[in-house]
Amino acid sequence: MNFVKMHGIGNDFVFINGIRLKFPNPEKNSRLLCDRRKGIGADQLLIVKKSKKADFMMEIYNADGSCVEMCGNGIRCLAKYVTDEKLTSKKELTVETLAGIQKIRILSKDRYEVDMGEPILKANLIPMKLKGRVINRPIRLEGREYRVTCVSMGNPHCVLFVDDLPKYPVTQLGPLLERFYLFPKRTNVEFVEIDSSSEIHMRTWERGAGETLACGSGACAAVVASRLNHLTENKVHVKLLGGSLDIEWSRSDNHIYMTGTAATVFKGEIEI
């Protein structure tokens, strides 16, 4: 089976052309392909398919086999993938995901802008087992209090503002928050340090993948949370372990716009 390995600022993916072939048992085979010792190695498996509602459909599977709604870095890579594979010549694309229809503009050969839609702030829609908005709300975990702001960008995110981000215990706290009882579908967790009103640093613990070098939807959620807590402006440069993204929460339509790069690593063939 042919594949393409890609990454968006270090968040890496295995792409399969589901238009030309039927990919068997994606829950099982995503674990195989994403395994960094026994497979190709990636954070997620992305399958590109035909869509009746958009130019393409994107199915996303985590390294643990779970299916997820949306991936911001992955959708930029999809735009590069379908262009490079000559599946389209359009400069503006629509992509069907479990989070809805996403729009992408190709700005240059390797740079893309994604309309991520409106952030969802109602707790029951994130989803969380709470009411109203969750903005700087205290929760108790293993005897300590943490203040969290929660957002959905089509997938759930829990944002914490921290000091000394490089030394923060992301790999210890991340999995505990991911599976915290308030999140019935688990959650992604963003650890954010504010540099200025227009720049933040961030580390991400991704649901089903662990700590990754970057998370596009997480960067969007982090900017929404930063703005809701009056810590930044609407346009923010987000620095992640694998690179940077430019995020804007538009005042005109309330949508989040994410701009960043996508790259091909290599192509290959694997038996499954």
Query: pTM (2 decimals)?
Result: 0.91
Closest CA to 49 of 16, 79, 6, 7: 16
Question: Which of the following is catalytic: 71, 77, 158, 220?
Answer: 71
Alpha helices by DSSP H, the chain: 26-34, 72-84, 170-178, 216-228
Question: Over 90: is that where the pLDDT of 27 sits?
Answer: yes
Q: How confident is the model at residue 256 (pLDDT cuts 50, 70, 90)?
A: very high
One fold for both 2-115+261-267 and 123-257?
A: yes
Cα separation, 58 vs 69, whole angstroms: 9
Domain residue limits, the chain: 2-115+261-267, 123-257
Beta strands 67-68 and 56-62: pairing type?
A: antiparallel
Residue 272 has pLDDT above 90, yes or no: no
77, 150, 158, 215: the catalytic one is 215
DSSP structure string for 73-86: HHHHHHHHHHHHTT
Active-site residue 71, yes or no?
A: yes
Secondary-structure class of domain 123-257 per CATH: alpha beta
Determine the Cα–Cα distance for residues 255 and 150; give it in Å rounded to an integer.
17
Residues 251-260 have a mean pLDDT of: 97
pLDDT tens digits, 70-115: 999 999 999 999 999 999 999 999 999 999 999 999 999 899 999 9
Q: In the CATH hierarchy, which fold is given to the domain comprising 2-115+261-267? A: Diaminopimelate Epimerase; Chain A, domain 1 (3.10.310)
